[in-house]
Amino acid sequence: MKIRPLTSLAALLLSTMAMTAVAQKAGEPAKADGPTTKTTSPEAKFESAPYASTGEAMHPTSNAKAPPMTEAEFDKARQIYFERCAGCHGVLRKGATGKALTPDVTVPKGTEYLKVFIAYGSPAGMPNWLTSGDFDEATVDLMARYIQHDPPTPPEFSLEDMEKSRKEYVPLAQRPTKKMNKYNIENIFSVTLRDAGEIALIDGDTKEIINIVKTGYAVHISRMGAKGRYLYVIGRDARLNLIDLWMEKPDNVAEIKVGLEARSVETSKFKGWEDKIAIAGTYWPPQFVLMDGDTLKPRKVVSTRGMTVDNEYHPEPRVAAIVSSHQKPEFLVNAKETGKIWMVDYTDLVNLKAKQLDAAKFLHDGGFDASGRYFLTAANSSNKIAVVDTKESKMAALIDVGKIPHPGRGANFKHPKYGPVWATSGLGDESIAIIGTDPKGHKGNAWKVVQSLKGQGGGSLFIKTHPKSNNLWVDTTLNPDAKISQSVAVFDIRDLSKAPQIIDIAACANLKDDGAKRVVQPEYNQKGDEVWFSVWSAKDKQSAIVVVDDKTRTCKAVIDDKRIVTPTGKFNVYNTQHDVY
């Protein structure tokens, strides 16, 4: 039976009844009542660890209204939550990009309601985990019960823990002193193979895979060092890998684990400090660490716990985007939940100096304007873009935009009417905000939404253009409608009054199986004449990379090697090194 997204309350109720019937037919125990339990010893009574009638240990909980789970179920769900849900909802489930999922919110809604929402998603960015094929019905039920339990608090992670995890596969003294291969390094792409825990290094000229490199799970970003030699990639499991592109076959030369969950890494870019210092930020523990750029030896850990911009203490201000200033020897570090942007001076790691700017809560990703002076970043659940003047070290603006902006690094271009602008799309609605970024030459337009475009719908993760292009590409990866998530909208920058062209990127891939085929993250090549897209299906389904000719907007090549497993982010070396977006 083909499952389609639900669009009405009646359909919602019918689907809930249907899933309940399926569960009963399969012989599952009724979740409202749960398995029978028995206590086998005084020790078990004291530890609140009853056993199911099958002999399985039950997960102890202080929340009497939470549906029963065995210890094995809870452990499985905890891992799935880490891999699929924590990024939006938080390790402690207090919410940010996604809604809070603490028991005071989830228990009153009940298991059946939660199952439907998990299964079918929403146009505001919640993935449709069942209908996309990522979860089966048993997993949907498991996660609906799990989020009604108290969230487990993970352990801390110290500088000593980091140093113990660090490995130098090729010591500094044994690394090449010059480039040892014939690759055009500036046009190499680092492609995240999410569920494989790898990246693919792909030659952008030949479209051939150079190497598959073992990394952390679900690499979130790849960042190039300022000198164009070292590639830094960080997984959601907080494993940071250092890859040397000068080697005959580029590969890992060092790695470190900087915490339990992470998203961001960057290196120093200011003149005289190029790549001397690396920084990585973690979602858990909420902190960032400064390291030697060529060995990843950790030097300083800084906690981000503290007061929010509206003066409430928060125990989990996760570190989201980090960028390296072009104006001063400092990093800009987004503390998501507090809404504060740290300006961290890296010239003295012993006596570290840092200034905090009040922006808005739930800071996420962002990038520089075309001049490299202003950092524009999304405060996504506040529906704002924060602007930092990195030369003056102060906030320049807070701009209201559409629902849950998610720019990636954004898109810079010259608007035919308003001059230099930066654009963001979003998860929560179809709006695309175009913001003026030239306070000197176009003062009346600066830090305002000068135009709003209409994309295909909510669920957009990335927007992209290039200085040599007339196109503005917008994905809708997390929209629950397959027709929308498998295609992209492309606007003509020269005339933004025209409706966008919709291109079915998944059809270009011509994959034979029934995977989700979500299309994610347009990324340009070095020359700016090609746009690469990931066609992202489940790990047991076929995925691919589609290369589009930017001028003709037609499919040019498909990279469908069997090793391309769940591809998501793609990072071109030159564009990443030079902040071209």
Which residues are designated catalytic? 85, 88-89, 126, 364, 406
What are the beta bridge partners of residue 234? 221, 240
Rounded Cα gap, residues 519 and 533, in angstroms: 7
Contact (CB, 8 A) for 283 and 319: yes
Alpha helical stretches, state H, 178-295: none
The alpha-helical segments, DSSP class H, found in 121-274 are: 137-146, 159-165
Nearest to 548 by CA among 476, 484, 487: 487
Instruction: Read off the tokens for 100.
Output: 């809070």
Q: Which residues contact 322 (CB under 8 A, 6 or more apart)?
A: 264, 265, 266, 279, 280, 281, 288, 331, 332, 333, 334
Question: 137-146 and 71-84 helices cross at what angle (nearest 10)?
Answer: 100
Residue 224 φ then ψ, to 5°: -90, 140
Q: Is 137 helix (H, G, I), strand (E, B) or coil?
A: helix
d(CA 486, CA 488): 7
Q: Which amino acid is residue 471, in one-letter code?
A: N
d(CA 395, CA 321): 17
Of the candidates 132, 207, 191, the residue with the CA atom closest to the CA atom of residue 567: 191
- Other Cβ atoms within 10 Å of 551 Cβ, number: 12
Q: Any residues with CB less than 8 A from the CB of 535 and at least 6 apart, and which?
A: 486, 505, 506, 509, 511, 517, 518, 519, 543, 544, 545, 546, 567
Residue 517 three-state SS: coil
Partners of 389 in the β-ladder: 374, 394
Q: Contact at 8 Å (CB) between 433 and 401? A: yes
On whether the CB atoms of residues 374 and 388 are closer than 8 A, the answer is yes
Contact yes or no for 490/473 (Cβ under 8 A): yes
3-state secondary structure (DSSP) of residue 372: coil
> Which amino acid type is present at position 551?
K
Question: Could you tell me which of 139, 237, 245, 244 has the C-alpha nearest to residue 188?
Answer: 245
The token pair at 16 is 């809930």
Q: State the CB neighbour count (10 A cutoff) for residue 543.
A: 29
Q: Quick one: DSSP state of residue 405?
A: B
* Alpha-helical segments (H) within 48-153: 71-84, 86-89, 103-109, 111-120, 137-146
Cα–chain center distance at 76: 22
